[in-house]
Structure 1
Amino acid sequence: MPTLICDCNQTMPLQPKALGAALNENLSLHSALCRREAGAFQKAIQSGDDVVVACTQEKRLFAEVGEQTGGATSVIRFVNIRESGGWSKDAGSAMPKIAALLAAAHLPDAEPVSTVTYKSAGRLLIVGALDKAEEMAALLADALDVTIFAQGVSSTAQAAFPRQERQYPVIGGGDLSLNGWLGAFEAKWTKNNPIDLDLCTRCNACVAVCPEGAIDLSYQVDNNKCTSHRDCVAVCKVAGAIDFNREPQAVTEAFDLVLDLGAQPLIALHAPPQGYFALDVSAGLASPGLLATVVKLRDMVGEFEKPKFFAYKQKLCAHSRNETVGCNACIDICSASAISSEKSRQQIVVNPNLCVGCGACTTVCPTGALTYAYPRASEQGVRLKTLLSTYAKAGGAHATLLLHSQTVGQQAVEALGRAARLQKDMQGVPANVIPLALWHTASVGLDLWLSAIAFGAAQVAVLVTDEEAPAYLEGLAGQMRVAQALLNGLGYAGVHFHLVQTQNASSLDASLQALAKARPVVPASAARFAVAQEKRSTLDMALDHLISHAPAALPEAIELPAGGSPFGSLLVNADSCTLCLSCVSACPAAALQDNPERPQLKFIEKNCVQCGLCATTCPEDAITLQPRLLLTAQRKEARVLNETQPYQCIRCNKPFGTLKAIESMLGKLAGHAMFQGAAADRLKMCGDCRVIDIYSADNELKITDIR
């Protein structure tokens, strides 16, 4: 795969020999690849091989040149080396990082996955003050089929007498609610306005005659002001649009798109559904985001596809058993309300139409029941290993992996690179900080972070901006506490995981410079395992490598933070536990087991995901979670948490329960009128003997009756 590098008019100190050695490729250096040296680009794309161009500044120009080049059949991949390091103050030391970025650009695209399809016919509902809604409708009606849900009028419009021409369908009422997504929104409201907007001619007679001012220019009656003079009814007798005796009517209507101009958004989610836009238009055309929203809406007619970002394996899910909820991590963190509980089916349900692909659910899932599908964890693992191995091969040291989003995060990194070029007091992205763009920063968690450390990273930093929901930050911070506790517990001193929050290039510069100077302890050699799609398998391989290269004597166990730990033990109160074994049937990971031969509760710590289903299910509240990582061989072995003597049937001597459970039952029923005498003795019998004894007693009663 040919690689074309350009020092952008000699503003970057690139070293083609060093880069070529790391990539096993002969590289030639260009200085004006997008201009007078464009012939080299045209020749490369005529080769038929995929071509990597180390420039994103002129991506559009290269694409246009490619279209105009005869015989060009190559796929072109673009990678940013300029703002990512070539313009930094220490750019002369950044060749290992640039080599790593080029090597990652050579990797194939993620394997395709199934897609989610949206279909929009352009039916747009605009909700808000009538005058503001009509102003927005004027910008959109030539491209979309507009309907307005009027919520009064603005104070400015009421005083300024807005235009009366009816250009768009107007509906109104109370209790408006909205659900759905692009192409499938459902609006529900109660049609309770005494004024029928379909019959209203906007003559304003009712507005003028109302003594209370209860009717505004959206032609809706404010019941809080109306005192039933009914002058409006009299003045509207010809049109007949006003009827206070009309019964409220529930209305449901479908729309493809929604523009919400209301003071309180109908959908108050950090990640609202595709096709829903909430906008403050109080500043008119100067309102922030107005023009961008108009452009997006006008373009949302037709059929659209997105990847189905998640994969779900119900058998691994620790959400619920027997309609008892244990783990709610994915539901709690989802900022799009795309995940719901189905306790009756012992699973969660993810609505792919609402899912925005943030991946936060997969990061906090302890079992790997939810996994990120595009790209897959295994594909991200290859990218991590390629970046870090190439960086080390080129002579790089103390690598810090900087994970950021493809949108705002990417813009922040590029802004820092440009600032370093123009401002003397800005350093830029340090030579040992390797940026890696993700669809969303919340999509990568504990398994891949620890794998990155095992592959040779000294630190993993996640760049977060205003686009991340607060729940994402809490989830990432919680996972980082667990990861850091694991490394420190293994003897790797220092801080290896960081959440980098930034508002501007200056603060980002300071944060990255501090990270670049840190020297946490890391494994002496890099791991070679392949990241698996299964989260627990990847965690096991990463931990095995980190344990085998631990720099100090290992403790017996590492205590982990409560909440969010995927590893741990259980503490069972032997005085309370009756060995009913309801926890065994509830455990989704086969961590709890019984013994068919005797009353025992056994536990395999390696399997435990700390979901809490056992503790929630236990009728005696005898189970407590103990987050930790056990480092002895006992972690993989079954051990007995509690055992007791069996209780033997008083009739046949067969064991049928536990001594503690039967004694507890007898104690609770001792004063009950139905369990006295022979009935009490039957509680001490096995199921077979109990039936025989009842049958025998019935026969004796019948013989007595005959006599």
Structure 2
Amino acid sequence: MPTLICDCNQTMPLQPQTLGAALNETLTLHSALCRREAGAFQKAVQSGDDVIVACTQEKRLFAEVGQQTAGASSVVKFVNIRETGGWSRDAARAMPKIAALLAAAYLPDAEPVATVTYKSTGRLLIVGVLDQAEQVAALVADTLDVTIFACGVSPQPQPGFPVQERKYPVISGDKLSLTGWLGAFEVRWDKSNPIDLDLCTRCNACVAVCPEGAIDLSYQIDSNKCTSHRDCVAVCKVAGAIDFGREPQPLSEAFDLVLDMGATPLVALHAPPQGYFALEASQGLASPGLLATVVKLRDLVGEFEKPKFFAYKQTLCAHSRNETIGCNACVDICSAGAVSSQKERQQIIVNPNLCIGCGACTTVCPTGALTYAYPRASEQGVRIKTLLATYAKAGGRQAVVLFHSQGSGQQAVEALGRAAQLHKNLQGMPANIIPQALWHTASVGLDLWLSAIAFGASQVAVLVTDEEAPAYLAGLAEQMAVAQAVLHGMGYTGLHFHLLQGSGAPDVAALAALDASLKKLAGHQPVVPAAAARFAVAQEKRSTLDMALDHLMTQAPMSLPEQIELPVKGSPFGSLLVDKQACTLCLSCVSACPASALQDNPERPQLKFIEKNCVQCGLCATTCPEDAITLAPRLLLTPQRKEARVLNESQPYQCIRCSKPFGTLKAIESMLGKLAGHAMFQGAAAERLKMCSDCRVIDIYSADNEVKITDIR
């Protein structure tokens, strides 16, 4: 695979021999690959092999040159080595990192997954004050089919507005609500305005005659101002558009797109559904996002696809059992409202149309019932392993993996690289920090972070910006606390996991703060495993965690303790404490456990527990009728973690008729005590409670026969 590197007019101190040795390839250094030396690119794309171009600035230019090159058949991949290290103050020491970035570019693209399809014909609803909505409508009406939901008019409308000509359908009313997504929005409202806008001719007679000024130019009647003079009804007698006796009528209509300029947004989610756009109502047409939003709206006509980012295995889900809710982590963290509980089906439901692919649900899922599908965890694992292995092969030390989003995070990283080239007081991306873009920073969690440390990283950092929901930051922080507690408990001192705050639109101050944070990070040297792991990251979260933990325990710098105490929040590991005095061994917890951590013994009354399987979902505790179970977050490091141990056992209770054991002594005694005063369980009926099910039937049948014989006599 040809690799083309360029030092961008000799502004980067690239070392082609060092890079080539790490990549097992002979590299030629270019200085003007996008200009005078473009022939080298043309020759490479004629080879038929995949081509790596270490430049993203001129991606469009290279694409055009490739199209104009006869016989060009290669697939071209682009990787940024300039802002990510080449323009740093210590760029001369960044060759291991640059080699790692180039090696990762060699990896195949993620395997395709099922897609989610949206279809939009361009039916747009604009919600807002009428005059502003009409002005925005004029910008898109040549492409989109516009309807306006009028919310009054501006207090001081611009001269000439609103336009009296009825260019767009206008609706109005109360209790406006919105559900759906791109191509499938449903708008509901109550048509309660006394003025029927379908009959209204906009003659303005009612506006002029109303003594209270209760009617504005959106032709809505303000009931708080109206004192029932009904002069408006009199002047509208020909058109008949005004009727105060009309009952509110619930209406609904379908739209493909929604532009919300109302005072209160219809969607309050941090990640609203695709096709929904909201602008600050107070800023009106001066909103800084108006132009960008208009451009996006005009492009959203047609058929669109996105990956189905998640995979769900209901059999592993710890959300609900026996109509009892246990783990609710995915529902609580989703900022798009895509995850919901379906109690009657004992599972959660993920709406793929609302899912934005953030992956936060998969990160906090303790069992791996929800997994990130595009790219898969196994593919992410290969990438991390390749980055770190190449970095070490090229002589790099103390590698820091910096995860950031492909959106605002990428902008922050690149902005810092450019600023460092121009401002001497900024260092830029340190030589040992390897940036790695993700679709979303919340898509990677405990399993891959610990795997990265096992593969040779000294630290893992996640750069977040204002595009991340607050719930995501809390979830990431909880996961990092668990990961750090695991490493500290094994003797790996120092801080290995960091949550960094950046800005999607960074200014000089924000870049300086990020630069200082990265510089401090680069200088930190926590204790890490002496040897890098070789295992392959599995798609199943628990399998990956087990392999990472096994390697970290093997390489631990000290004698391992028996257990590591873990934070209560976010821990996927732990034990159970059973109050033996309260527990009746009813075994309802066994049927509730989704991970087979709790088991019974068919031979005798016992409650057994395999700690390795426990995900601390809490279903056992919420199911227990005696409140006898308490969660105990920890990581047991002894072999007993994988073995079944008895949490509670009891003497069996034997049937008083046949002596067959059919329950526990404690459970039967508890039942007898609770029913002792019940009128239905006295005398012979009370004695039957002490019998097994077979003998109970026989005894009842025998008693019935005795009654019949007595009656005959």
Give yes or no for the alignment of 1:529 onto 2:535.
yes
How far, CA to CA, are the matches of 2:161 and 2:58 in structure 1?
51
CA distance in 2, matches of 1:207, 1:703: 95
Corresponding residue of 2:703: 697
Q: Deviations over 1:439-461 (max 9, x none)?
A: 00000000000000000000000
**Paired residue type of 2:258:** V
1:470-489 matches, cutoff 5 A: 470-489=470-489
TM-score, normalization: structure 1?
Answer: 0.99
- Residue 152 of structure 2 aligns with an amino acid whose one-letter code is G
1:378 paired residue number:
378
Q: Which amino acid aligns with 1:337?
A: G
* Shift, 1:334, TM fit: 0.4
Q: 1:224 deviation in Å?
A: 2.1
- What one-letter code is carried by the residue in structure 2 that aligns with 1:296? K
* Residue 165 of structure 2 corresponds to residue 137 of structure 1: no
1:34-90 Cα offsets, whole Å, 9 max, x none, are 000000011001100010000011111111111111111111100000000000000
Q: Deviations over 1:235-258 (max 9, x none)?
A: 100000011111211111100000
Deviation at 1:284, TM superposition (A): 4.8
Residue pairs, 1:593-612, within 5 angstroms? 593-612=599-618
In structure 2, the partner of 1:16 is 16
> How much does 1:322 deviate?
1.0
What pairs up with 1:83-482 in 2 under 5 angstroms?
Answer: 83-157=83-157, 162-280=162-280, 282-482=282-482
Q: Could you tell me which of 672, 676, 690 is aligned with 1:670?
A: 676
The correspondence for 2:689, drawn from 661, 683, 689, is 683
Q: Which amino acid aligns with 1:626?
A: A
1:530-571 CA-partner distances (Å, limit 9, x unpaired): 111111111011111000000000000111100211111100
Alignment partner, residue 548 of structure 1: 554
Secondary structure, counterpart of 1:96 in structure 2: helix
Alignment gaps of 5+ in structure 1: none
1:646 to 652, 659, 663: 652
Deviations 1:469-517 (A, max 9, x none): 0000000000000000000001100000000012421111000000000
1:237 & 1:285 partners in 2: Cα distance?
A: 37
Q: Is the 8 A contact 2:190 2:248 kept in 1?
A: yes
Write the deviation string for residues 604-650 of structure 1: whole angstroms up to 9, x where unpaired: 00111111100010000000011111111111111000001111111
Counterpart CA distance in 2 for 1:432 and 1:161 is 59
- Measure the CA separation in 2 of the matches of 1:287 and 1:675: 75
Q: Say which of 632, 637, 655 aligns to 2:638.
A: 632
Shift of 1:705: 2.8
1:368, distance to aligned residue in structure 2 (A): 0.6
SS in structure 2 at match of 1:379: helix
Q: Give the stretch that moved more between structures: 259-268 or 497-506.
A: 497-506
Decide whether the 8 Å contact of 2:130 with 2:162 is kept in 1: no
* TM-aligned CA deviation for residue 159 of structure 1: 9.1
Q: Residues 277 and 666 of structure 1: is their aligned pair in 2 closer, same or farther, counting only changes over 3 Å?
A: same
Q: Secondary structure at the match of 1:499?
A: strand
**Following TM superposition, by how much is the alpha carbon of 1:283 offset from its aligned partner in structure 2, in angstroms?**
3.9
Q: 2:589 maps to which residue?
A: 583
Kindly indicate whether residue 528 of structure 2 is the aligned counterpart of residue 499 of structure 1. Answer: no
Separation in structure 1 between the aligned mates of residue 62 and residue 160 of structure 2, nearest angstrom? 53
Deviation string 1:375-411 (CA, Å, 9 cap, x unpaired) is 0001000100100000000000000000000111001
C-alpha distance in structure 2 between counterparts of 1:210 and 1:534, whole Å: 69
Q: Deviations over 1:643-682 (max 9, x none)?
A: 0111111111111111111111111111111111111111
8 Å contact kept, 2:261–2:284 = no
Structure 1 residues 103-112 or 666-675, which shifts more? 666-675
Q: Is the 8 A contact 2:127 2:150 kept in 1?
A: yes
SS at match of 1:157: coil
2:45 equivalent in structure 1 = 45
Q: Deviations over 1:350-382 (max 9, x none)?
A: 100000000000000001111101100010001
CA contact (8 A) 2:262 2:281 kept: no
Higher mean C-alpha displacement, 695-704 vs 211-220: 695-704
Q: Structure 2 vs 1, CA of residues 129 and 382 (structure 1 numbering), >3 Å: closer, same or farther?
A: same
Q: Among all aligned residue pairs of Structure 1 and Structure 2, give the percentage whose two residues are the same amino acid.
A: 83
For residue 163 of structure 1, report the CA deviation from its aligned partner. Answer: 2.7
**Aligned 8 A contact 2:56 2:80 in 1:** yes
Mapped contact 1:670–1:676 kept (Cα < 8 A): yes
| Cα deviation, residue 145, structure 1 | 0.2
Aligned residues: 707
Amino acid at match of 2:38: A
Distance 1:158 1:464 in 2: 41
Letter in 2 for 1:310: F
What's the secondary structure of 2:436's corresponding residue?
strand
Task: Give the aligned CA root-mean-square deviation in angstroms.
Answer: 1.1
The equivalent of 1:655 in structure 2 is 661
Shift of 1:99: 0.4
Rate the CA distance shift 1:380–1:109 in 2: closer, same or farther, 3 A: same
Distance 2:157 2:629 in 1: 64
SS in 1 for 2:207: helix
Note the C-alpha offset of 1:172: 0.7
What runs of 5+ residues in structure 2 fail to find an aligned partner? 504-509
The CA distance in 2 between the partners of 1:517 and 1:56, in whole Å, is: 29
The DSSP-based 3-state class of the residue aligned with 2:213 is coil
Confirm or deny: 8 A CA contact 2:376 2:539 kept in the other structure.
yes
Shift of 1:281: 5.2
Tell me, in whole angstroms, the C-alpha distance in 1 between the residues paired with 2:282 and 2:694. 79
Which amino acid counterpart does residue 667 of structure 1 have in structure 2?
G
Pair 1:58 & 2:58 matched = yes
Shift of 1:706: 2.9
Contact preservation (8 Å) 2:131, 2:161: no
